[in-house]
Amino acid sequence: MSHTVPTANYLILAAVLFCMGMLGVLLRRNALVVFMCIELMLNAANLTFLAFARERGDSIGHLSAFFIIAVAAAEAAVGLAIVIAVFRSRGTVNIEEIQSMKH
């Protein structure tokens, strides 16, 4: 087992992906990019589950990843439909221009 990548490396990669996704959601302006950043965050969680499951050698983490992938796909279907509805009603997916309600 001396040639395998240590778990910590996976965890650091996952944390970096998660932070990239989080910053992207908060800072980016294009709705599709924001959407991709959310997927990145979910996959960071997936990678964390898998890294821990591999270290411990149990199956719950692997199963979790499957469920998360399935749920993320369902979410993407509805999310993309909503983005298309926004684009149809305004002709843009720029988040700063999607502000019709007063504060």
User: Which residues would be at the binding site for other proteins (CB under 8 A)?
Assistant: 11, 14, 18, 21-22, 25, 31, 34-35, 38, 41-42, 44-46, 48-49, 51-52, 56, 58, 60-61, 63-64, 67-68, 71, 74-75, 78-79, 81-83, 85-86, 88-90, 98, 100-103
Q: Which of 68, 19, 18, 62 is nearest to 44 (CA)?
A: 18
Give 5 or 82: the residue with its C-beta nearer to other proteins. 82
d(CA 48, CA 68): 12
Nearest-approach distance from CB 3 to other proteins, in angstroms = 23
The neighbour count for residue 11, using CB atoms within 10 Å, is 16
The three-class DSSP label of residue 59 is coil
Give 5 or 85: the residue with its C-beta nearer to other proteins. 85
Residues found in the chain: 103
